[in-house]
């Protein structure tokens, strides 16, 4: 009887421990979502203006830029790399689009070209892809460390943006109906079904990237490259091509972010996007991705971008100093990395325990067969 009571007590204790572990696991894995809900609740209490449909749509349009950069950054980080050039690529692509919209003059031929908005968008995305391709070739084929290669490109792209504009800003991006190049501001200010176009672009890109990562061999190659590049290569994964591809994707996403930002501001300047590469990395980290590669999702990265955007806009609304905004944002990033370490160390321990138990079971089976 006493043995049965003790056994029942032990079972109850194990059940309580298991439930507590499950709760901690849910909180860790859904931390970006819970953080976003907490931010909305806190700022809604602090300011009556915060919790309104108009404000949420405005904040979401701001998040669109960070979200696009974060998605591109996630692809790179999943392979174990990093892209520090996305902020400068955003600026370069923004001023390139502005230059095209203002017209390209060829004095020798006495000609001027004024491409339509959609031609500008395509050419700008191609430029972003070219910048990403240069990064990818340096990292994948010349074996330059990703940090060094993209840091160098950060300066090159920023310098190119300054050279294209002579340090000035393109302000006339509305176009001329007579030239057929109007409609650029539509990307930044117009709405479809009550949702800003920039946000719709973000979600369309996110859906395509989710399908690519979750439903295609290319997505599995990305995760396997980040998990163990050498093992992936031995199993037939074209690791170098995968690395090249993710940097191209990051460049194209940065170009789209540059287009959206320039459209929202109705101007394109060479200093746009300064430190945005850090914001993109923060969105990925807050979303729970591992900087070592192989772990992360588009959904959580979007949540991370919304956390950063809603936090920054909330601090502006309640009148917090810009200096304190940097302190709060940095603290959130450090805390997110700490939680990542806790989550992944717990997973590693549990996997090691499971492997140990499996090994013990196999040994017992082999002993039983021997006897």
pLDDT in tens, 239-290: 999 999 999 999 999 999 999 999 998 889 999 999 899 999 999 999 989 8
pLDDT at 179: 67
100 burial via Cβ count (<10 Å: 0-12, 13-18, 19+): buried
If pLDDT is split at 50, 70 and 90, which confidence band does 10 have? very low
Banded model confidence at residue 338, pLDDT cuts 50, 70, 90: confident
**The predicted structure's pLDDT at residue 331:** 85
**Residue 234 burial (10 A CB sphere; 0-12, 13-18, 19+):** exposed
Of all residues in the chain, the percent with pLDDT exceeding 90 is 57
- pTM score, two decimals? 0.87
| Confidence category of residue 2, pLDDT binned at 50, 70, 90 | very low
Higher pLDDT, 328 or 110: 328
Residue 41 reports pLDDT greater than 70: yes
For the stretch 57-80, pLDDT in tens is 999 999 999 999 999 999 999 999
pLDDT at 21: 53
Tell me the backbone φ, ψ of residue 170, rounded to 5 degrees. -80, 120
Bridge pairing between strands 191-192 and 195-196: antiparallel
């Amino acid at each position: 009887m006493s043995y049965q009571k003790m056994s029942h007590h032990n079972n109850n204790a194990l059940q309580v421990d298991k439930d507590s572990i499950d709760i901690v696991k849910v909180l860790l894995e859904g931390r970006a979502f819970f953080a976003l809900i907490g931010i909305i609740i806190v700022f809604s209490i602090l300011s009556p203006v915060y919790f309104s449909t108009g404000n949420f749509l405005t904040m979401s349009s701001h998040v669109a830029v960070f979200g696009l950069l974060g998605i591109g950054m996630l692809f790179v980080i999943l392979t174990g790399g990093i892209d520090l050039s996305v902020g400068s690529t955003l600026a370069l692509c923004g001023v390139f689009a502005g230059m095209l919209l203002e017209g390209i003059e060829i004095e020798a031929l006495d000609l001027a070209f004024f491409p339509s908005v959609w031609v500008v968008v395509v050419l700008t995305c191609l430029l972003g892809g070219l910048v990403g391709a240069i990064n990818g070739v340096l990292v994948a084929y010349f074996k330059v460390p990703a940090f060094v290669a993209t840091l160098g490109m950060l300066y090159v792209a920023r310098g190119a943006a300054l050279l294209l504009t002579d340090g000035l800003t393109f302000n006339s991006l509305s176009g001329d109906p007579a030239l057929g190049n109007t409609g650029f501001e539509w990307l930044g200010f117009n709405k479809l079904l009550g949702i800003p176009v920039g946000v719709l672009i973000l979600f369309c890109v996110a859906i395509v990237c989710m399908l690519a990562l979750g439903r295609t061999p290319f997505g599995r190659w990305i995760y396997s490259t980040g998990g163990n590049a050498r093992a992936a290569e031995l199993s037939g994964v074209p690791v170098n091509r995968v690395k090249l591809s993710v940097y191209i994707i990051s460049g194209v996403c940065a170009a789209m972010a540059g287009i959206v930002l320039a459209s929202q501001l109705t101007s394109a300047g060479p200093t746009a996007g300064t430190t945005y590469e850090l914001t993109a990395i923060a969105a990925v980290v807050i979303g729970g991705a591992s900087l070592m590669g192989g772990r992360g999702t588009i959904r959580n990265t979007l949540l991370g971008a919304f956390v950063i955007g809603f936090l920054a806009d909330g601090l502006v609304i309640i009148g917090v100093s810009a200096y304190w905004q940097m302190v709060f944002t940095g603290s959130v990033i450090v805390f997110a990395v700490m939680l990542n370490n806790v989550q992944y160390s717990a997973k590693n321990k549990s996997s090691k325990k499971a492997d140990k138990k499996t090994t013990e079971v196999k040994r017992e089976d082999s002993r039983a067969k021997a006897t």
